[in-house]
Amino acid sequence: MAQKPEKMQISLYLSAFIDIGGVMPKRLDILIVGAGLIGLSTADALLSRGCGVTVIEARSGPARGTSYANSGMIHPSQSRPWNVASPMRSGALRSVHELALTSRTLLQDSLISLGLFKDNPVPGCYKIYPDMMSAREAQKRYDEEGVVSRAVLDAEATLGHPALYFETDLWGNARDYALALEADLKNRGATFIYDAPDLRIRRGHQGVTAQMKGHVFQSDHIVIAAGPQSPELLAALDIDIPMTPLRGFAVNFEKPDMQLPFAPLMDAQSHSAMTVFEDQLRLSGTINQASARPLLQRWCELAPQVMRELKPATEIWSGLRPMSKAGRPYIGGTDVPGLWVNTGHGHMGWTLCAGSGNLITKMIMDDETDERFKLG
């Protein structure tokens, strides 16, 4: 978030401190591993609190892992975990939903401050079902979860399919956001180190150390936001972070010149979506398929008129959702002093990024605890 006023307040506070001859409080230096949506949002929140922030990333730029091409939905409505049998009983659903609602507001503010928020004529997201009876049954479950939806059938918005409409969800291009946020963070003083796949994190005498090619990073805290690669990074420290990454695909097309759905359209059956961004149409989702073919076949069934108009795809991509086995992200400290995790956001990472960055910052800076997201 480009929170310039808050930053100014911090420097005013510091100069007042110097004027009265006080001792300057020590600035905390934080190393964040991973420049995906979660690492960038963590950097954003920590920088806003006056920390020194260094982000270290294995790839050559920001948002080149799972955050590269998601479906763009900021959808608290979809907080139900995909891999937990009784999410209500485990508390995972409620925890994720609460964090998602906070995160949506923070993310909207951040999108506005970066000049990226589109006041879409039709907000929200749609989810289509085979028939109206299935839509109404699903609606009952959403009601029980405290999620408001409306059953609709519309020739344009739902391509004529029975659907549920989640009016308070938002959507936007996560990669555009990540690129704009990274530029903003650099302007505000964050350091980014790219092409750094060889980072080694080890337990030291006084906590944790990070090293790369003989260089030891000096930091007060380290936050692991390495998405689906987080478990292997933490395994070197004997920390088990239970995750089952789930592969998804995204296929980008030039936007065809025709009437298209104005808000993302999810398909309940295939866990995929059609999202029409400003400059492209994207089909994305599915779970652990070997290729993008099932995704394309499904949308040929659902939207034959649209699919007929599409030129060959401009890009086919696949990525792993960092799906935690607990059905909710892991946000908090570890048994190694100074080592934190912010990962495991599964199918909700775009929705939860701002809220998760904010939460871990409160834990590090204010000693706040939140048992809902603890590791283990």
Binding site for ligand FAD (CB under 6 A): 33-39, 56-59, 64-67, 70-73, 75, 196-197, 199, 225-227, 229, 233, 248, 250, 284-285, 319, 321-322, 343, 345-351
- Residue 348 or 375: the one with the smaller Cβ distance to ligand FAD is 348
CB of 347 to ligand FAD, least distance (A): 5
> Is residue 50 classed exposed, middle or buried when 0-12, 13-18 and 19+ CB atoms within 10 A define those classes?
middle
- Residue 132 or 193: the one with the smaller Cβ distance to ligand FAD is 193
193 three-class SS: strand
CB of 22 to ligand FAD, least distance (A): 38
CB of 5 to ligand FAD, least distance (A): 27
- Residue 196 or 260: the one with the smaller Cβ distance to ligand FAD is 196
CB atoms near residue 213 (< 10 Å): 8
- Residue 64 or 374: the one with the smaller Cβ distance to ligand FAD is 64
> Quick check: 182 and 37 in contact, CB under 8 A?
no
- b/e per residue 248-277 (b: at least 16 CB within 10 A): bbbbbbebbeeebbebbbbbeebbbbbbbb
> Quick check: 299 and 283 in contact, CB under 8 A?
yes
Helices (H), ranges, the chain: 4-19, 37-48, 87-90, 92-113, 132-144, 174-187, 230-235, 293-302, 304-309, 349-366
* CA distance from start to end of the chain: 31
Torsion of CA 321, 326, 327, 333, to 10 degrees: -70
CB of 357 to ligand FAD, least distance (A): 10
CB of 268 to ligand FAD, least distance (A): 14
CB of 249 to ligand FAD, least distance (A): 6
- Residue 102 or 132: the one with the smaller Cβ distance to ligand FAD is 102
233 closest CA partner among 196, 269, 266: 196
- Residue 198 or 367: the one with the smaller Cβ distance to ligand FAD is 198
Looking at residue 277, the DSSP 8-state letter turns out to be -
Looking at residue 199, the DSSP 8-state letter turns out to be -
CB of 353 to ligand FAD, least distance (A): 7
- Distance between CA atoms of 230 and 347, rounded to whole angstroms? 16
- Residue 303 or 352: the one with the smaller Cβ distance to ligand FAD is 352
CB of 162 to ligand FAD, least distance (A): 21
Helix H, strand E, coil C: the string for 241-254 is: CCECCEEEEEEEEE
CB of 264 to ligand FAD, least distance (A): 7
- Distance between CA atoms of 192 and 61, rounded to whole angstroms? 9
- Residue 95 or 229: the one with the smaller Cβ distance to ligand FAD is 229
The tokens of 299 are what? 């949308």
- Residue 137 or 232: the one with the smaller Cβ distance to ligand FAD is 232
